[in-house]
Structure formats: structure tokens, C-alpha cells
Structure 1
Amino acid sequence: MNKPYRLPTINSDWCNIQINGEYYHRTELRKAAFRSNSDDTHEYRFKVTLVCEPDNPYSKSGKAISVRNGGDILGYLPEEIAKDYYPEIARICASGAVAETAARLWVSDDLFSPDPRMELSIALLDPGLNVPLNNPPSDGWALIPYGKAIQVTKESDHFDILQEYVPASGKGPLFVTLHKERLGSKGVRIGVEVRLDGERIGELTKASSEKLLPAIEHLEAQGLDTVCYAIIQGSSVAAEVTLRLLRANEMDEESLHPDFAPLPRLVDFETDPNNYDVPNAYSGQATKSHSHGASKADSALDTPARREVTHSTNTTISVLGPSVPWETLLQPDQSKRATPFQRGYVRGKIAGNFPDKKAPRIDFATVDQCSNILEYFGESPEPLGKSGRGSNSLWWALMIILFLFVVMLASVPIVGPIISLVWLGTVIHHFLTRRQLKPPFGKR
């Protein structure tokens, strides 16, 4: 099993990144929520892992990142931000570890109600600030949790060391160690010296030192070096360092009696993330069916309400056992909206894979999205551009002809008005139900 690499978070309640695709992983989300043993009926908190999927065929950027709980996929980072977080998460994956962070699931109704609204969010700092550029010590150290900023002083005296750590972006995270030392050449005082990979890079003021010395002394008594997060910001001529950590009075008992060396060491930082050897992790059609191989957790959830919900959910998203990654297949793109001919062709080709031979509506799908869907189900997208399927003019010409025919038919006694009303009702129903389509099938 890959060792977890816990990412820094602002606090235990903070979850700031909304995840895509929860609607299609409701069974997995229910399992994660049930295991969390939450007392709240609408909010559930648990740990999740982030896994790079360089082999995900439906990611246009090639930088897909799935959000998982154990072996279950709960959703994906939105495509537009996944590429920004990919370099950091890729480094962790290439090191044989797995990024771990906090998650919050909000449920609009009872967890096992037939169709609750679910929103999953996770905790991530800004891109480029989650994984320090350097590694922590090999052993014998403890990590003070992420917290408010404390400025390091006298960095200018050590720019020869710091300049080697300033990233191309000008800003990046570091691991530094804190040490109780006698500081000053004239008025000697006991304070905190800051070191980077064993080299002095500055010190803290008297006031700042007093806020941290009790924690440093406490960890030293346990035979541990004190490690904390820091942010370096600089250029080719200057750099400054800011610590990000809890003060001694803010630390709880878990922080004061921490795990030894809690994070694994990573492969060296690469300026080009494509140099990381990231293992393939896309599950695709191999994703476990909701109806096969129930685990102990599934058994624990096996209630009449759950069986009803699972059946309802599977008839919506299950295809030959595995879940269809609609959120990925229908990612927004720049291609034009598909014509009704094209959308109808797609639904007709894939209908046999769904219960009752009825594929979901894709009223707002684009041409490229239609191609993605056909390729996912092993069908060629080439016919989308043939036989007039790409012509909106032809579609509207047929609609005008049909409309005139219905108008003429309305003059036929008894039968004509009935047929006309049925036709009009069908059109109205189509547009009303279109407005109720849920993401990602709805209008974006």
C-alpha cells in the first residue's frame, strides 16, 4: 500500500475546492460518509486521496486527477484547475506515495434518500504551495501543523543559500527546521534559528521566538527536530522566507505528541513535471460494478433503503457494470453544439448499453463531446459528419415542414385537433424537461 503524504491544510474545517462528478459516484460517496461515523445528517468529513491519471483518455490536458476514498473514485478535480495542481501531485505519485487531504461532503437530504443533492469539496492550498520543494530530514523529526505566518529575519545574510531554492515562479514552499540557539553577538539572547537543509538562513525576533520556544523544547525532550512549513519568495537578487505554523499555545495534544517522521521523502523536484515517472492509474471500464463483489463496508450499508437507492442510481449511471465518466466525457470544449441529428445518432448507437435501451439525454452536447461518447462505447465518430447529420438548416427545414403538416391536420374534424394537441404537448414537455436536466447534462 502506498504511504499517505498528508497535504497541509488551513484548519480541520477548511475545504475550498469543489469536486466534479459527485452525481455519478453517489454509491461510493455514501460508503465514505457512512464510514465517517458523523453525527450530522447533512455534513460528513473524511480523508481522501488524490491520484494522477496520466493515461485517462478523456482528459484533454492529460492531467486528470481523481479524488478517491480507499479504492473508490468519488469524483475529479475540475479540468481547468487540475493542470495547475498536477505537478505537485505527480511528484507524490512518482515517489510511490499518495496525496491525502481533508474532504467535506454536504448532502441535501437523508444520506439514503433516492436522489439527494451531494456536494464534495476538498482542502488544497493555492497551486504550487502544497508540496515543499525540498525533503524533510530522513528521521527523528516532527512536523508543526500549518498555520499563520511568521517572518524570518536576516535572510539577506544568507542569500547565497536561498538563491538555490527560489523556483522559476518566484514563490514556493519549503521544509525548514527550528532550533533553540544563543543569538546575537552583543546582547546575547535565547531565540529560534531557522535552518534549510542544515544551513542557517535566518532567525526569529525575540517576540516570535517566545511564541515557539515552548513547542521546540517540548519536541526536543522527545528527541525530535522541529520541522515546519515555510514559503520562499524571491528573485535573482533577493529572497525572503516566511514560516507557516501554529504557535505553541495553538497546538493540541496530537500536535505536541506527534508521529515521528510523518511524511515520506519524495523524488527530487523537477521544473518540468513531465519528467516525473507517474504510474498509470485510470480505471476506466475496469471500475468495479456497484452490483458486484460487495465488501464488508457494502454489507454494513445493505439496508432496504440502500438497496432501493443503489438500484435507482445504477439504472441512471451503470453501463455493463462500470460507471460511465459522464463528467469527463462532457467536459466543456470549444467545438460547436451538435445538431439534433448528431445527438440522436449518438443516443441510438449507445442505447443498447443502458437499461430499457434508453440512453440519457445529451441536449447540450457539442460535436467533440458526441465524439468522446461514441469512442468511449467503442463506436466510430466518423458518421457524425455524414448523411446531413451536421446540418442545422436541414433540421429546421424538416421542423417547418412538420409544423405546416400539423397545422393542415388540425383542420380535419375530431382527429386533427387531438393529434395537433398531442404534438404541441410533446414539444412543450421536451423543453420543460430539458431545463431540469442535472449536471453535466444540463446547460453550462
Structure 2
Amino acid sequence: MGEKPGQYLLWNELRGDWCNYDIVGEQYHGVAIYGLLPDDWSREGFETQRMFELVPEPANPHDRWAISVRADGKTVGYIPRQDCQSWANVVRRVAASGLIAMVPGRIYARDAKNWDEWDGENDPPREFASTVQIKLGDPDGALPINNPPTVPYTMIPRSAIVQVTKEDEHTDALLKFVPGSGYGTLFVTLHESVSGRAASAKPVVEVRINDERIGQLTPQMSQRFLPMIRHLASRGLVTACWGDIKGSAVAAEVRIDGIKANEADEVVLDGEPVTLPALIDKQDDPETYALPGWIDMAVQTGARHSYESQPESTTSSTPAAPPLPPAAWYDDPQNHRMFRYWDGLRWTEHVAPKVR
């Protein structure tokens, strides 16, 4: 199998715990899904949230672009066929980087009445039924178009989107980051600078991509970020956050998304830096990525769940579960209005509001 992969949470603009995307084929993987539920789950209807893995299956006999959705290494369903090719570059690039693409999701399980097997007299027999939904955005925005900063940094949690200003003064630097699709997400860093002439100079937040200045925040908005930027700088850390770029060959604009100083708690200010791994370069042809040995090339055998017969496992070749997600701020599973800090092993008590 080779070295177990780390995990890479795909980026998207979706907020809260709403899972917008329906996968397919859950009915053929009932045993795997049933095994993810607690013993005391309510048969009337039970929902649980968890992370899911997106695994490319280039040897799938039905579709070489197939992408399985897995939990703890076991297949629970698939990305619908019509969307697989558009997501192939994302999941294969992550896999070729020695990582596994992760997305948040939910399982809804219940006991359904099997009317097809009803004898017309007694109660209809029970049948295990489940639905799996994941949070999936746009493939063009699922991975950053640039690498993480090369200097010591920490990623601050997302909060409310803020428009960067004065991009027109840095057109040459900015336009080279516009992707062919016209839209992309990226790492940006925030730095204290001074705007205006000496007599009336005001401190502002300078916004950089790959350490090149591409704009700034307004003086008023800058004041809401600067105390945090200064504090992190005193620890030798650059403030980094999620951003996006939209443009053409002649003009572009950038937005950033990160908490402000009044939203930062002690975990953000004084905790361990939050960093993300770099990915290999994007390839034009998804089939040119060299996929590592831990990819289970064979399609996992599915099994429907039956209350009369409960197989112990779906396949003997299930790969080992990859490590837990890295320490970072994620959407709070219990409150869509908040972020909660995951320390790499478990959810902590540290939360931060999503201020808009």
C-alpha cells in the first residue's frame, strides 16, 4: 500500500454545515454506511456529520474518471458520472501530492418500509435506507492556484469577505495570477504598511500574493485587522488567509476572507500556527498525474445492508484509514454560525463567530 496519505480539505465558499451535493450509489454500500452509525442510532431517522474522502478510481471498469466517496477507507458511494471528469484534476492532483482530498458531509439513515416485499397482511418488512451528502463547491475554486507562503505563517479562520482596493495600481503583478477560467482561490498574506504622504500617512493592511503587493484594504477596514497582524508579527508569523481572484487579461479584482482582530481568540493569537501543505504543479491532462501506491485501484465490492444478514466487511482490500485532518479552524458541526478549532485529534472548546 505504501505510505499512508495525509489529508487535504478542499476549499469552497459554502458556509455553515449545509451539505449541498448528493452522491450516488449509497444503496449498494449499505454495510459500509451502517458500520459508521452508533449502536443507538434512531431508526426513525438519524443524522451524523463527518469527513469524507474523494478517491480517484482510474481502473474502474465502468468509468475511468470514477471518483469514489469513502469514509475510513470504505466506499459509501460515488460522485455522479456527469461530474467526475470536471473533478478529476482536483482529486488526482491532491493524490499525486501524497494527500487525499477531503470534504465535510452528512449521513442520514432511517428504517424504510419495503413495500415491494410486503405480503399485504403483516407490517411491511424493514429496509435500511441512507443518504450521503457532501459539501462540494466549484472545481475551479477547490484548490489554491498558488503555494502556501515560504516564510513562517499561520492561516486565520474565515469570516466575512472583504474587497481589496487599489488593485489598478498593481496590474502587472496581479494579472499573472488570473487563471484561464477567470476565477481561482489563493493564499494571500496581510502586512502592515503606510499609505499617504508623511504628514498624513495612515497605517493600512497591504495585501500580497506570493509576497508581491497587489492592493490594500481601506484605512478604516485596516484598523480592524492590524492589532492581530501586529500580534502575530511579534511571534515571527505572517498573517495568511483565504482569498479569491476574478478577472481577465486586462483587469482583475481580489477579495479576502479572514477573521478580524476582535474575532481572534487565544488559539488564533497564541496557539500553534495553522499551515497547509503545498501541492504539486497542476497538469493540463488529469491522466498525466502519477498516482501513488496507496490509491486502491480496484473498485471496492459493495454490499447492501440486511437486518437478517450483516456482513462484517465490504472488502478484504480496504485501505487503511488516512490520518485525521490537520489542526485548523473548520465550520462548527453543531452551530453553522460559528467556527470551531480542530487540534488534529478532536474538536476543542475554542470557537469564533462568523461575523459578516
Per the TM superposition, whether the score is higher than 0.5 is yes
1:198 counterpart = 2:200: no
Partner of 2:225: 212
For residues 33-75 of structure 1, the C-alpha deviation after alignment (integer angstroms, 9 at most, x for no partner) is: 339x99x96110111111122222211xx32211111221111
Mapped contact 1:56–1:282 kept (Cα < 8 A): no
Partner of 1:224: 237
Partner of 1:309: 307
Mapped contact 1:140–1:261 kept (Cα < 8 A): no
Letter matched to residue 195 of structure 2: L
Note the 1:143-222 alignment, pairs <5 A: 143-185=155-197, 187-222=200-235
1:85 aligned counterpart, secondary structure: helix
Structure-2 change in CA distance of 1:267 and 1:57 (3 Å): same
Q: What is the CA–CA distance in structure 2 between the aligned matches of 1:219 and 1:114, rounded to whole Å? A: 57
Compute the RMSD of aligned alpha carbons.
3.4
Mapped contact 1:8–1:145 kept (Cα < 8 A): no
- TM-score normalised per structure 1: 0.59
Structure-2 change in CA distance of 1:193 and 1:134 (3 Å): same
Partner of 2:327: none
Q: What is the CA–CA distance in structure 1 between the aligned matches of 2:45 and 2:20, rounded to whole Å? A: 21
Structure-2 change in CA distance of 1:57 and 1:19 (3 Å): same
Q: What is the CA–CA distance in structure 1 between the aligned matches of 2:231 and 2:51, rounded to whole Å? A: 29
1:8 counterpart = 2:11: yes
Partner residue of 2:58 out of 54, 57, 61: 54
Q: What is the CA–CA distance in structure 2 between the aligned matches of 1:133 and 1:309, rounded to whole Å? A: 48
Identity %: 36
Note the 1:30-429 alignment, pairs <5 A: 30-34=34-38, 42-59=46-63, 62-109=64-111, 114-138=126-150, 140-185=152-197, 187-250=200-263, 255-256=268-269, 259-279=272-292, 281-284=295-298, 287=300, 309=307, 311=309
- TM-score normalised per structure 2: 0.73
Mapped contact 1:179–1:226 kept (Cα < 8 A): yes
Structure 2: gaps of 5 or more residues:
113-124, 319-356
Structure-2 change in CA distance of 1:204 and 1:78 (3 Å): same
Structure-2 change in CA distance of 1:234 and 1:78 (3 Å): same
Structure 1: gaps of 5 or more residues:
292-305, 324-444
How far apart are 1:103 and its partner, in Å?
1.0
Q: What is the CA–CA distance in structure 1 between the aligned matches of 2:226 and 2:208, rounded to whole Å? A: 15
Structure-2 change in CA distance of 1:255 and 1:261 (3 Å): closer
Partner of 2:33: 29
Mapped contact 1:175–1:230 kept (Cα < 8 A): yes
How far apart are 1:251 and its partner, in Å?
5.1
Partner of 1:18: 22
Structure-2 change in CA distance of 1:321 and 1:70 (3 Å): closer
How far apart are 1:232 and its partner, in Å?
1.1
How far apart are 1:89 and its partner, in Å?
1.9
Q: Which structure has more strand as a fraction of its residues?
A: 2
Partner of 1:378: none
How far apart are 1:257 and its partner, in Å?
5.4
Q: What is the CA–CA distance in structure 1 between the aligned matches of 2:246 and 2:205, rounded to whole Å? A: 21
Mapped contact 2:156–2:274 kept (Cα < 8 A): no
Letter matched to residue 298 of structure 2: G
Q: Which structure has more helix as a fraction of its residues?
A: 1
Q: What is the CA–CA distance in structure 2 between the aligned matches of 1:215 and 1:31, rounded to whole Å? A: 44
Please say which structure displays the higher CA radius of gyration.
1
How far apart are 1:8 and its partner, in Å?
2.9
Q: What is the CA–CA distance in structure 2 between the aligned matches of 1:11 and 1:254, rounded to whole Å? A: 21
Mapped contact 1:55–1:282 kept (Cα < 8 A): no
Structure-2 change in CA distance of 1:185 and 1:178 (3 Å): same
